[in-house]
Amino acid sequence: MGQSNRWNNKAKGTLAAAILLVAGIAVAANGGLFDSVFKKSPAEIAKAAGVVATAEAIKIPLKTLDSGKALFLAAEIDGRQIHYFAIRSSDGVYRAAYDACDVCFRANRGYRQEGDLMVCDQCGQTFPSVKVNEVKGGCNPAPLTRRVLGQYLVIQKTDVAAGARYFPSKRS
C-alpha cells in the first residue's frame, strides 16, 4: 500500500505541474507574449476577416468590426505599403484611420488597441475610439475617408493611396 500511495502522490504532482504549465502558457498567450512569433501578415488578417478588395475599393464586413476590436490592414499601392485600421467605436460608429499620425509617422510604428483606446506605439499617447476619424492633427490617428454601404465598410483605394506620405519606408 505504501508503494501505491507514493506513485499516486507522484502522479498527482506531475498532473498538477502539467496543469500549471498549460495555464501559464495560456496566460502568456492571452497577454500577447507570443504575438511576434505567431503574428499574421496584414494579408492573412484581411483574408480571415472576409475583407474583399476590388480594383477600386476595400470592403470590410461590418460584422468583423462589431466586437469593437480594431482590424489592422495594409495595402500595397505604387510599391509602398500603406497601413490603416478600421474599428467600430464605443458609440457604434464605423471608423477608419491610417495607422500613423502627423507627429510620429517617421518612426513608422503605428498604433495598438487597449480596450477602447488607440495607443501610439511611438509616444504612448492614447485616443478614445470615438475620436478616431473625428479629430485630426498632432498624434491623433490620421483620418481615412470611409462609408458604410450595405453590410460593408467601404474604403476607396484612392483614399488609401492619399496617405502614402505617412509611410516613407517599409514597416519592419
What is the per-residue pLDDT across 114-138, written as a single tens digit (0 to 9) for each?
999 999 999 999 999 999 988 888 8
Give the residue from 88, 87, 85, 122 showing the smallest Cα distance to 102. Answer: 122
Half-sphere exposure (CA, 13 Å, Cβ side) for 140? 15
Q: Where in the chain are the domains?
A: 1-39, 42-166
Please check whether residue 100 is in contact with residue 166, taking contact to mean a CB–CB distance below 8 angstroms.
yes
Please check whether residue 59 is in contact with residue 154, taking contact to mean a CB–CB distance below 8 angstroms.
yes
SS3 112: strand
Which three three-digit cell numbers place residue 20?
A: 500549471
Which of 20-34, 67-81, 136-150 is the least confident region?
A: 20-34
String of b and e for 3-26 (b: at least 16 CB within 10 Å)? Answer: eeeeeeeeeeeeeeeeeeeeeeee
Confidence category of residue 27, pLDDT binned at 50, 70, 90: very low
Q: Global pTM?
A: 0.74
Give the residue from 3, 1, 22 showing the smallest Cα distance to 14. Answer: 22
Phi first, then psi, for residue 54 (nearest 5°) are -105, -175
Average pLDDT, integer, range 72-99: 93
Fold assignment, 42-166? Rieske Iron-sulfur Protein (2.102.10)
Q: Residue 4 has what pLDDT?
A: 57
